[in-house]
């Protein structure tokens, strides 16, 4: 691993006027990425800006008043947008945000906004929860591109914010986060000025230039980190303010890079994870312990938060475990969170490219959804699942 990057790096946003070097090394992605996923990554800042405008102008729940709690019901790419939005809202609003990645819905009251989110409109867990949601107290809304969810919401008289996007659910993070933030701003549950959002998105766009495939690979930190992650299992440890970004890194590494990855959060990790790190000790071959720990640092946080990362970094070094520190800066938490997510998107993308993997298709996700439906149909209404047996015996 290159010492100038693996031991410390800062992925802060250059000024929005910065541009990539026209003489930088180019590389052909047509074979590895035939669907052009990289173009959708490049488009993220514009997508987020469009989503913000849509959300702030949508009038579907203008009647909502006194919202004290928001439940976001969704899975996968639809859920992570709610998680990112929730971290931004809870930092500066008394409104409590909760993402429910299940079809079992918590209780609600008249001060609850229930947001049902599904990119495709065909998410089984979401559709199965909709009849229950319709009977619960509170304000309800749907965010989707259409499909069965939009039709059933209309039949239940639940207002739907419908958007158009061609791409993978995970590539629609801008819609998932910024549509919801825009709606919450409109109904008074989230106080933020347009100028703050515009500045944050300008900083995200500037970072995107730095990570672009046309940028000089020697100064593109996401491409450098991707090279270091080859033959490694990433463990993404984040300051609590970047917990949603750590989850995003994990899922993007899973889906784009087809790589196992695990998230964690500080300071919680100092109460469990570090025991495994310290007990391992230095001296073993790296390939006997093939982890690479990525430390996501929000440099707008307190010195106490930075000290935790410093201490963990020292322990990782003493134990001979590879690590990279990703220090992020921005004018607001929204800026830092979105930059952190974007960096992870590009790292996962370049890791796939480095290993000759098409990052777009997710055949095992599609296959497992079909298999779950088949097994569920076999159970029938009155049948119980078979007794659990070791997986190797099935």
pLDDT tens, N- to C-terminus, the chain (394 residues): 322 333 444 454 334 434 334 333 445 788 899 999 999 999 999 999 999 999 999 999 998 889 999 999 999 999 999 999 999 999 999 999 999 999 999 999 999 999 999 999 999 999 999 999 999 999 999 999 999 999 999 999 999 999 999 999 999 999 999 999 999 999 999 999 999 999 999 999 999 999 999 998 889 999 999 999 999 999 999 999 999 999 999 999 999 999 999 999 999 999 999 999 998 876 555 556 799 999 999 998 888 999 999 999 999 999 999 999 999 999 999 999 999 999 999 999 999 999 999 999 999 998 998 898 888 888 765 444 454 444 444 4
Residue 131 and residue 221 in one domain: no
Per the structure, the complete domain to which residue 122 belongs is given by 65-188
CATH assignment at residue 313: 3.40.50.10490
Any domain includes 236: yes
Residue 319 and residue 180 in one domain: no
Element (H, E) at 128: helix 124-135
CA separation for the pair 271, 356 (Å, rounded) = 38
Residue 145 and residue 249 in one domain: no
- Tell me if 268 sits within 8 A of 280, measured CB to CB: no
Any domain includes 139: yes
From edge to edge, which strands make up the β-sheet containing 160-162?
Answer: 96-100, 69-73, 112-118, 139-144, 160-162
Residue 124 and residue 179 in one domain: yes
Residue 128 and residue 169 in one domain: yes
Block residue for tokens 């300051």: 239
Residue 158 and residue 70 in one domain: yes
Residue 141 and residue 241 in one domain: no
- Tell me if 245 sits within 8 A of 261, measured CB to CB: no
Any domain includes 323: yes
Residue 218 and residue 335 in one domain: yes
**Best CA proximity match to 72, nearest among 58, 59, 90, 86:** 86
**Best CA proximity match to 56, nearest among 197, 265, 157:** 197
Residue 255 and residue 162 in one domain: no
Any domain includes 307: yes
Residue 178 and residue 290 in one domain: no
In the chain, the number of structural domains is 2
**Best CA proximity match to 342, nearest among 176, 181, 205, 165:** 205
Residue 213 and residue 333 in one domain: yes
């Amino acid at each position: 691993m290159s010492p100038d990057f693996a031991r410390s790096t800062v992925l802060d946003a250059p000024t929005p006027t910065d541009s990539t070097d026209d003489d930088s090394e180019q590389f052909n992605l047509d074979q590895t990425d035939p669907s052009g996923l990289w173009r959708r990554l490049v488009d993220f800042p514009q997508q987020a800006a469009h989503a913000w405008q849509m959300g702030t102008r949508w009038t579907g729940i203008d009647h909502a008043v006194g919202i004290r709690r928001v439940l976001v019901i969704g899975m996968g790419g639809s859920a992570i947008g709610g998680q990112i939005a929730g971290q931004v809202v809870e930092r500066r609003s008394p409104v409590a945000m909760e993402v429910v990645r299940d079809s079992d819905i918590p209780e609600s009251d008249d001060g609850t906004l229930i947001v049902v989110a599904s990119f495709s409109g065909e998410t089984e867990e979401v559709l199965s929860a909709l009849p229950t949601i319709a009977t619960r107290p509170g304000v309800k809304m749907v965010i989707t591109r259409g499909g069965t969810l939009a039709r059933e919401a209309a039949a239940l008289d639940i207002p739907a914010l419908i958007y158009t996007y061609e791409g993978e659910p995970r590539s629609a993070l801008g819609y998932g986060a910024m549509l919801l933030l825009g709606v919450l701003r409109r109904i008074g549950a989230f106080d933020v000025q347009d100028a703050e959002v515009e500045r944050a998105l300008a900083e995200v766009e500037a970072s995107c230039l730095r990570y672009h495939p046309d940028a000089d690979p020697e100064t593109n930190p996401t491409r450098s980190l991707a090279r270091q992650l080859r033959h490694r299992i990433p463990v993404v440890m984040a300051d609590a303010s970047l917990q949603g970004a750590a989850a995003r890194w994990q899922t993007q590494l899973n889906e784009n890079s087809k790589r196992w990855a695990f998230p964690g959060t500080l300071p919680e990790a100092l109460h469990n994870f570090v025991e495994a790190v310290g007990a391992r000790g230095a001296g073993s071959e790296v390939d006997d312990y093939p982890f690479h720990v990525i430390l996501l640092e929000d440099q707008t946080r307190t010195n106490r938060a930075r000290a935790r990362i410093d201490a963990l970094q020292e322990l990782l070094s003493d134990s001979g475990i590879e690590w990279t520190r990703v220090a992020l800066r921005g004018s607001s938490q929204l800026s830092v969170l979105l930059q952190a997510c974007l960096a992870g998107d590009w790292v996962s993308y370049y890791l796939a490219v480095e290993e000759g993997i098409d990052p777009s298709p997710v055949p095992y996700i599609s296959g497992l959804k079909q298999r779950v439906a088949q097994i569920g149909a076999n159970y029938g209404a009155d049948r119980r699942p078979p007794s659990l047996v070791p997986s190797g015996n099935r």
